[in-house]
Amino acid sequence: METDSSKPAFKRILLKLSGEALMGPTEYGIHSRTVESICSQIKKIKDYGVEIGLVVGGGNIFRGVHASERGMDRVVGDNIGMLATVMNSLALMDMLEKMGIYTRVMSAVRIEAFAETYIRRRAVRHLEKGRLVIFAAGTGNPYFSTDTAASLRAMEINAELFIKATSVDGVYSADPKKDSSAVFFPKLSYMDILTRELKVIDSTAVSLLMGSKIPLRIINLTREGNLERVILGEDIGTLVTRKGQE
């Protein structure tokens, strides 16, 4: 892809962060310096005029699936997990606004004291006005992951690209941190993810994206500058589309 290095290749994106990304070197919770580093990267792409929707998980605080495995009712566990995403969203909002980025948190569940209730048209209007929108509380329903919520929001706001930020350089045939023979995939199709059973994004999210024209790019957010490079059109990480390598 030939690009103008000074101009963004995308007007509107959906960025998905894991809750664990906010932990930094700690084992639990929110690490303020790590949040600051992530928000600094987001600010760089916002300064290009890119419209940004953001979804963050809650795994640094609570995981409903793990709680259900220990005997907690799955619905209750997922509800607690949704609240964890709200906490993470508020932490990101606070840091982003300190950096001068007008930010709105929109929740899929009614929690007006802390966040706006999600309404698609209002969210799009926020984006058009240059505000960054953080979509909290998943889809508002148990049994659905934040990957699925991010895929849904990407489609609803007509994002041109869905970026999933991870701690590895893209998609591999196995965990490269544990298997030195793991093969890197620069390009894949959504069907490849399903048939190869690659654990990079859940199958419900993949099914949604297969019906859209939105490409997914999986990148390593821990490498400074990667997010900006993607926005400027560089081919890094793994690109997932409906056709893949065809």
Asked whether residue 92 carries a pLDDT value surpassing 70, the answer given is: yes
Q: Where are the alpha helices (DSSP H) in 25-63?
A: 32-46
Taking the C-alpha atoms of residue 176 and residue 216, their distance in angstroms, rounded to an integer, is 20
For residue 242, count CB atoms less than 10 angstroms from its CB and return exposed for 0-12, middle for 13-18, buried for 19 or more.
Answer: middle
Asked whether residue 64 carries a pLDDT value surpassing 70, the answer given is: no
pLDDT band at residue 4 using 50, 70 and 90 as cut-offs: low
Taking the C-alpha atoms of residue 151 and residue 169, their distance in angstroms, rounded to an integer, is 21
Residue 150: per-residue pLDDT: 98
- pTM score, two decimals? 0.93
Q: What number of other Cβ atoms are within 10 A of residue 90's Cβ?
A: 17
For the chain, which residues make up each domain, given as ranges?
A: 12-241
SS3 45: helix
Q: Are 18 and 63 within 8 A, CB to CB?
A: no
The mean pLDDT value for 80-105 works out to 97
Q: Are strands 116-117 and 51-56 parallel, antiparallel or unpaired?
A: unpaired
Residue of 81, 70, 71, 92 whose CA lies nearest to 17: 92
Q: Are 168 and 220 within 8 A, CB to CB?
A: yes
User: How confident is the prediction for the chain on average, in pLDDT?
Assistant: 93
The DSSP bridge partners found for residue 50 are none
Q: Are 143 and 78 within 8 A, CB to CB?
A: yes
CATH number given to 12-241: 3.40.1160.10
Percent of the chain surpassing pLDDT 90: 86
Q: What is the pLDDT of residues 134-180, one digit of tens each?
A: 999 999 999 999 999 999 999 999 999 999 999 899 999 988 888 88
Q: What is the pLDDT of residues 7-60, one digit of tens each?
A: 999 999 999 999 999 999 999 999 999 999 999 999 999 999 999 999 999 999
Asked whether residue 246 carries a pLDDT value surpassing 50, the answer given is: no
Taking the C-alpha atoms of residue 192 and residue 244, their distance in angstroms, rounded to an integer, is 8
Taking the C-alpha atoms of residue 51 and residue 154, their distance in angstroms, rounded to an integer, is 12
Side chain identity at residue 154, one-letter code: A
Taking the C-alpha atoms of residue 222 and residue 245, their distance in angstroms, rounded to an integer, is 26
